[in-house]
Amino acid sequence: MPWLVLAFLVWLVGYPLLVVAAEAFGIGSPGGGGPTTEAFRSFFTRADEWNAMWRTLWISVLSTLAAAAIGVPLGFLFERNEIPGRRLLGALVALPVALPPLVGVIAFLFLYGESGLAARGLQTLGLDVSWRLTGAWAILLVHAYSMYVYFYLFTRAGLSGQDGAAIEAAQSLGASRRQILFRVTLPRLRPALAGATLLTFMTSLGSFSAPYIFGGGFRVMTTQIVASKLNGELRMAYVETTMLALLAFASLLLLRRIDPGLDLASGARGTPPARRRLRSRGARVAAAAGGWVLAGVLLLPHATLILMSLVPPNTWTVEAFPPVLGLVNYGELLSSTERLRPALNSIWMAAAATLAAVVVGVMAARLSLRRGGLPGRALEAMMTLPWAIPGTVFALALAAAMSVNAPWVGRFVLVGTLWILPLAYLVRSLPLTGRSIFAGLRQLDPRLEEAAASLGAGPLRTVLRIVLPLLRPAVIAGAGLAFITMLGDFVTSIVLYTYDTRPISIEIQSSLRIQETGIAAAYGVLLMLLSAAAFIAWDDRAGGRL
Amino acid sequence: MARAENEPARPTGCQVTASGVSVRFDDVFKAFDDTVVLAGVSLTVEPGEIFALLGPSGSGKTTMLRLLAGFEQLDRGRLLIADEAVEHLPPARRGVGMLFQSYALFPHLSVAENVAFGLKVRGGAQGEANARVAEMLELVRLSGFEQRRIAELSGGQQQRVALARALAPRPRVLLLDEPLSNLDPALREETRADLRRTVKQTGITTVLVTHEQEEAFELGERIGLLNEGGLEQVGGPAELYRDPASRFVATFVGRCSVLPGVVLERHGGDELTVRLESQPHAEPWLCRGDSGLRAGEQVDVCVRPEALELSTDGGSGLAGRIEAERFTGSNSFYTVRLASTRSDAGDGSAAGPAIEVAMPGSAAGMNGACVVRQLPGEPPSVFAGASTESDP
């Protein structure tokens, strides 16, 4: 059994990566010809390829720094200070994490774009300003906006787990506030910050929506890969895919080294220090006002998206604010089955992939933890591997592996069929469900299963009556995250969708392309609402753990 | 020895008491990787008996229990319940109930659902299962707790639910894995008596694992003392205490000091006189030991603190100096450093082995130079060896 599950995972996760690397060298490609390094030579000699690699790297570094610069202070502000409306504001500040990247990106476009609400507003005020939201800075802005939440949440979690007694001990030893921050608080926050850095950097490395919409001629690896594929330079696309995968691996290995793991965690987890109350009334009012302004700024893009969805086609020309608002776009969206289809596609494909990822996750985790050893580690590695690899890489790898009919080597023609996109979603869901199921199972007392067995329960009944009910919070947490992520997926969809399986994200993109901004926005709002509903249901079930 | 019985694996009927069956380990061998945990252990537990497996951690006692439950597979040997080989049966078909050290109660089920779990698995009638649950909860004095969540119960109550759950399907054998170790000391004593009462009431053959001698003595009718994968001795509590089969048994069960000596003379039966090495001129001790021991042989004398008395008024005996006193209320335990030869006594340079002496609580507060004398009645045990260490 472990070998069967492992074989399936290797076929689904590891094999396509090998195929894409092999085809980059001209091995096993349907075009024939012997192994060659020609495409790699061409990659290393072309300036645009090097540029894309280099840009991917520095964009990721700067995105991480910018996200940290916003997220860490916000984390301290909300975790260590008692400000009016702290709980609500604290939750609002975390909101961007629940929204699909593409939605955030088009919301930015509508607000800060060349002819966005902000530009029009300023022009109406008589200011002769014009800008283009494009290139590196636009990408960085969107990244910082959507990824600071990782640092914010990790900082808050790290701070809330710290023992207040350590700070009191430092105080009693004569340390100043500054010394306490740099010598007690921050060092102990290192595991949390390392975790956020890893997450932000890897997300940024694989980011596709922002570079695709705002990049223009500024290409990073993910957009370069898709461009090569669209240009028909398949082998070059495979080389780029291989190089991006290697870059991701190298980054992961490097970043893991700064993560001190659990070494710094003290055995005793005491009570976190009491939050500081602002003494003067003025300061409290200022803090509250600042907080609400901040929340307003953070929510403005999404408010703009909602506004745009209410603008009927061809009614907004030169005015600062749309003159007509109505539900025409939603009517259009709901009236035709063809328009509604992408939403249904997204829902069923995300649900199917999530369900499959839960089943595979539970099987793999149980087998891995019971069996241990090499097969156990291999199972866990296959489950977590897709996390480290950008979505574009997997999309290309699956496109390469599953476009050839050679069942004897495990290759089937799935590209262009109904199955390829759910399968791709499944691959990307595996680490999300796997991580929480593994964690949940590790916390489960193995004696519980033995107790069930000694009371006469067989393996199936033990799983159904004992393991799954106890694993429910972990399953819901992982499944919720996977469902929300896949619902808004753009990066794999754009490579693998067919007309019949086009998801919401693809429909948003094609609506934008034909200038149906109102429809695109309405789809965006729909996606936002679906994600928010899933998020709320999930947060509720998962007991508020994020 | 083992009684021939052919009881069904899943007895039916609705009585609290089950007639016991025998349990037999026959040359059982078990290793984990390269570490031998059980090296050919043979043991028979009589029907209806409460048998305690006692030993230090790593001695193999928990492995014996897990082999019997079916959670581990033996490498060699046979395992019989009611004379029926069970080593190839999965846990679910052995008819063995287990009380886990952590209780392993299902936290998502209520008290009643936990107790009913083993009954539902067998698919009996609902009414019968309900009756059995009520009966079991009454047995452990938890009637009225049916709908409680596990997290709402105290440690002692959880232990009793776990016991009820293990007993509900009428197992042929009950296994108790360190059943009291998760309770605080005050509760432990009370629960111990309770557990023994409940188990005896059911009449079920019970195998208990513990590393605490007190627990084994109070719960077990017979005790098997394990050390390094082998059984050192099997017997009743008094037998293990008074007549230990090895130096390990003597030192593990109860307190004892080990003094090196030489056999002077054998008498009838197992009696012999031993001259203590540290004070060769002192009066030899009357001891008991294996008939294989001959005059002139080096031995270790294992003496219990209560087999000695202490005097600061001089007289004959082993000379020494009181080093420490531990007062427990009813007794005062003195650690006495014996002089290495009699001529050293009293000059402060005593450097022989240490020996522990129990005196009544009323004799607390003695100090300084003293003599230690053997009390009549319980001669200490001697074992072959040439130990120079003492082990008070």
For the stretch B278-329, pLDDT in tens is 888 888 888 988 878 888 889 999 999 999 998 888 788 888 899 999 988 8
Does B14 fall in a domain? no
Instruction: Indicate if the alpha-carbon torsion angle B231, B232, B238, B241 is positive or negative.
Output: negative
Confirm or reject contact between A370 and chain B (CB < 8 A).
no
Instruction: DSSP for B268-293, please give it.
Output: STTEEEEEETT-TTSPPEEEEE-TT-
What was the pLDDT predicted at B392? 41
Question: Which chain A residues touch B122 with a CB distance below 8 Å?
Answer: 456
Q: Strand (E) positions, A337-493?
A: none
Q: Nearest residue of B to residue A451 by CA position?
A: B104
Q: From the list B93, B104, B106, which residue is nearest A450 (CB)?
A: B104
User: Among B257, B251, B213, B220, which Cα is nearest to B235's?
Assistant: B220
Task: Please tell me the total count of domains within chain B.
Answer: 2
Compute the average pLDDT of residues A40-55.
Answer: 89
CATH of the domain at B123: 3.40.50.300
User: Phi, psi at residue A57, to the nearest 5°?
Assistant: -65, -55
What was the pLDDT predicted at B121? 82
Q: How many other CB atoms are there within 10 angstroms of residue A545's CB atom?
A: 11
Ramachandran sector of residue B274 (left: φ over 0; alpha: ψ -120 to 50; beta: rest): beta
Compute the average pLDDT of residues B235-246.
Answer: 91
Question: Which chain B residues touch A455 with a CB distance below 8 Å?
Answer: 92, 97, 117-118, 121, 165-166, 169
Question: pLDDT tens-digit profile of B77-95?
Answer: 999 999 999 999 888 888 8
- Which of B247, B272, B306 is the last residue before a domain boundary? B247
- Note whether B156 and B279 are same-domain residues: no
What was the pLDDT predicted at A423? 93
- Note whether B99 and B146 are same-domain residues: yes
Rounded distance between C-alpha atoms, residue A270 and residue A429, angstroms: 35
Question: Which chain A residues touch B92 with a CB distance below 8 Å?
Answer: 453-458
Confirm or reject contact between A53 and chain B (CB < 8 A).
no
Q: Which residues of B touch A (CB under 8 A)?
A: 10, 69-71, 90-94, 96-98, 100-102, 104-108, 117-118, 121-122, 165-166, 169
Question: pLDDT tens-digit profile of B340-352?
Answer: 764 444 454 547 8
Instruction: DSSP for A312-374, please give it.
Output: -TT--SS-SS-S---SHHHHHHHH-HHHHHHHHHHHHHHHHHHHHHHHHHHHHHHHHHHH-HH
What was the pLDDT predicted at B226? 94
Question: pLDDT tens-digit profile of A395-419?
Answer: 999 998 898 888 888 888 888 888 9
Check A454 against B92: CB less than 8 A apart: yes
A287 three-class SS: helix
Strand order in the sheet with B205-210: B96-99, B173-177, B205-210, B50-54, B222-227, B230-235
Q: Band the pLDDT of B221: cuts 50, 70, 90.
A: very high
Check A469 against B108: CB less than 8 A apart: yes
Report the percentage of chain B scoring pLDDT > 70.
91
Does B5 fall in a domain? no
Q: Nearest residue of A to residue B102 by CA position?
A: A447
Pairing of strands B354-360, B271-276: unpaired
What was the pLDDT predicted at B341? 67
Check A451 against B100: CB less than 8 A apart: yes
Q: Band the pLDDT of A109: cuts 50, 70, 90.
A: confident
What was the pLDDT predicted at A269? 52
Higher-scoring residue by pLDDT: B23, A294 = B23
Confirm or reject contact between A453 and chain B (CB < 8 A).
yes
Directed axis angle between helix A136-160 and helix A186-205, to 10°?
Answer: 140
Check A457 against B92: CB less than 8 A apart: yes
Which whole-number Å values give the CA distances from B168 to A465, B69, B102, B112, B178, in the listed order?
18, 16, 19, 11, 20
Question: Which chain B residues touch A466 with a CB distance below 8 Å?
Answer: 106
Rounded distance between C-alpha atoms, residue B171 and residue A419, angstroms: 51
Q: Band the pLDDT of A545: cuts 50, 70, 90.
A: very low
Beta partners for residue B25, in sequence order: B43, B79
Q: Are the beta carbons of A456 and A324 closer than 8 angstroms?
A: no
Helix (H) or strand (E) holding B257: strand B257-266
Percentages (nearest 5) of helix, strand, coil residues in chain A: 75, 0, 25
Q: Are the beta carbons of B37 and B229 closer than 8 angstroms?
A: yes
Higher-scoring residue by pLDDT: B315, B356 = B356
- Note whether B66 and B194 are same-domain residues: yes
- Note whether B180 and B130 are same-domain residues: yes
Helix (H) or strand (E) holding A380: helix A373-388
- Write down the mean pLDDT value for chain B: 85
- Which of B247, B265, B295 is the last residue before a domain boundary? B247
Q: Nearest residue of A to residue B92 by CA position?
A: A456
Q: How many CA atoms lie within 13 A of A481 on its CB side?
A: 22
What was the pLDDT predicted at B144? 92
- Note whether B270 and B323 are same-domain residues: yes
Q: Band the pLDDT of B5: cuts 50, 70, 90.
A: very low
Q: What's the one-letter identity of residue A434? A: G
CATH superfamily of A1-36+329-546: MetI-like (1.10.3720.10)
Q: Band the pLDDT of B388: cuts 50, 70, 90.
A: very low
Question: Which chain B residues touch A443 with a CB distance below 8 Å?
Answer: none
Shortest Cα distance, chain B CAs vs residue A474, angstroms: 14
Compute the average pLDDT of residues B218-237.
Answer: 93
A386 three-class SS: helix
Confirm or reject contact between A444 and chain B (CB < 8 A).
no
What was the pLDDT predicted at A541? 60
Alpha-carbon A262 to chain mean position: 25
What was the pLDDT predicted at A69? 95
What was the pLDDT predicted at B85? 94
Q: Show me where the domains of chain A are located.
A: 1-36+329-546, 46-309
- By mean pLDDT, which of A78-82, A532-536, B231-235, B381-385 is the weakest? A532-536
Q: Nearest residue of A to residue B169 by CA position?
A: A455
Two structure tokens written together for A451: 């107790």
Higher-scoring residue by pLDDT: A33, B250 = B250
- Same fold? A1-36+329-546, A46-309: yes
Compute the average pLDDT of residues B264-286.
Answer: 86
Compute the average pLDDT of residues A140-156.
Answer: 91
Residue matched to tokens 């084994």: B216
Q: Are the beta carbons of B254 and B241 closer than 8 angstroms?
A: yes
Q: Nearest residue of B to residue A469 by CA position?
A: B108
Q: Nearest residue of A to residue B118 by CA position?
A: A455
Q: Band the pLDDT of B3: cuts 50, 70, 90.
A: very low
Rounded distance between C-alpha atoms, residue B285 and residue B259, angstroms: 11
Higher-scoring residue by pLDDT: A99, A24 = A24
What was the pLDDT predicted at A268? 47
Compute the average pLDDT of residues A47-71.
Answer: 93
Burial B350-359, CB ≥16 within 10 A → b, else e = bebbbbbbbb
- Note whether B78 and B55 are same-domain residues: yes
Question: pLDDT tens-digit profile of A123-147?
Answer: 888 777 777 778 899 899 999 988 9
Q: Nearest residue of B to residue A468 by CA position?
A: B108
Q: Are the beta carbons of A455 and A472 closer than 8 angstroms?
A: no
Query: Which CATH class for the A46-309 domain?
Result: mainly alpha
Check B98 against A456: CB less than 8 A apart: no
Compute the average pLDDT of residues B154-165.
Answer: 92
Domain that includes residue B271, residue range: 255-384
Report whether pLDDT(B234) > 90.
yes
Report whether pLDDT(A188) > 60.
yes
What was the pLDDT predicted at B181? 85
Compute the average pLDDT of residues B22-47.
Answer: 93
Question: Which chain A residues touch B93 with a CB distance below 8 Å?
Answer: 456
Rounded distance between C-alpha atoms, residue B323 and residue B369, angstroms: 9
Question: Which chain A residues touch B81 with a CB distance below 8 Å?
Answer: none
Question: Which chain B residues touch A453 with a CB distance below 8 Å?
Answer: 70-71, 90-92
Compute the average pLDDT of residues A299-312.
Answer: 90
Confirm or reject contact between A447 and chain B (CB < 8 A).
yes
CATH of the domain at B286: 2.40.50.140
Confirm or reject contact between A451 and chain B (CB < 8 A).
yes
Q: Band the pLDDT of B13: cuts 50, 70, 90.
A: very low
Q: Nearest residue of A to residue B96 by CA position?
A: A454
Rounded distance between C-alpha atoms, residue A543 and residue A480, angstroms: 12
Shortest Cα distance, chain A CAs vs residue B171, angstroms: 9
Check B104 against A451: CB less than 8 A apart: yes
Rounded distance between C-alpha atoms, residue A478 and residue A480, angstroms: 6
Check B117 against A452: CB less than 8 A apart: yes
Q: From the list B97, B101, B107, which residue is nearest A470 (CB)?
A: B107
Q: H helices then E strands: how many in chain B?
A: 8, 20
Does B389 fall in a domain? no
Best residue of A370, A447, A450, A455 to probe chain B, by most B CBs closer than 10 Å: A455
- Note whether B154 and B234 are same-domain residues: yes
All residues at 6 or more sequence positions from A221 whose CB lies less than 8 Å from its CB, including other chains: A52, A53, A56, A240, A243, A244, A247, A390, A392
Check B70 against A445: CB less than 8 A apart: no
- Note whether B241 and B271 are same-domain residues: no
What was the pLDDT predicted at A451? 92
Question: Which chain B residues touch A461 with a CB distance below 8 Å?
Answer: 121
- Note whether B194 and B85 are same-domain residues: yes
- Note whether B174 and B230 are same-domain residues: yes
Instruction: List, as ranges, residues 456-515 from A with C-beta within 8 Å of B.
Output: 456-458, 461, 465-466, 469-470
Strand order in the sheet with B76-81: B35-45, B23-32, B76-81, B84-85
Question: pLDDT tens-digit profile of B96-117?
Answer: 999 998 888 898 889 999 999 9
Rounded distance between C-alpha atoms, residue B52 and residue B168, angstroms: 22
User: Among B165, B102, B119, which Cα is nearest to B139's?
Assistant: B165
Q: Nearest residue of A to residue B116 by CA position?
A: A455
Check A456 against B93: CB less than 8 A apart: yes
Q: What's the one-letter identity of residue A405? A: N
Check A470 against B100: CB less than 8 A apart: no
Instruction: Indicate if the alpha-carbon torsion angle A532, A537, A542, A545 is positive or negative.
Output: positive
Shortest Cα distance, chain B CAs vs residue A452, angstroms: 8
Which whole-number Å values give the CA distances from A440 to A369, A467, A480, in the listed order?
11, 10, 15
Two structure tokens written together for A133: 């939201």
Q: Nearest residue of B to residue A450 by CA position?
A: B71
Residue B334 DSSP code: E
Compute the average pLDDT of residues B147-173.
Answer: 91
Rounded distance between C-alpha atoms, residue B375 and residue B392, angstroms: 18
What was the pLDDT predicted at A277? 77
Whether ipTM exceeds 0.85: no
Does B16 fall in a domain? no
Rounded distance between C-alpha atoms, residue A119 and residue A321, angstroms: 11
What was the pLDDT predicted at A27? 81
Question: pLDDT tens-digit profile of A336-361?
Answer: 888 889 999 999 999 999 999 999 99
Report the percentage of chain B scoring pLDDT > 90.
42
User: Among B72, B95, B87, B92, which Cα is nearest to B26's?
Assistant: B87
Two structure tokens written together for A187: 């060092």
Report the percentage of chain A scoring pLDDT > 70.
94
Rounded distance between C-alpha atoms, residue A89 and residue A98, angstroms: 15
- Note whether B29 and B154 are same-domain residues: yes
Residue matched to tokens 């300036």: A47
Question: pLDDT tens-digit profile of A13-25?
Answer: 999 999 989 888 8
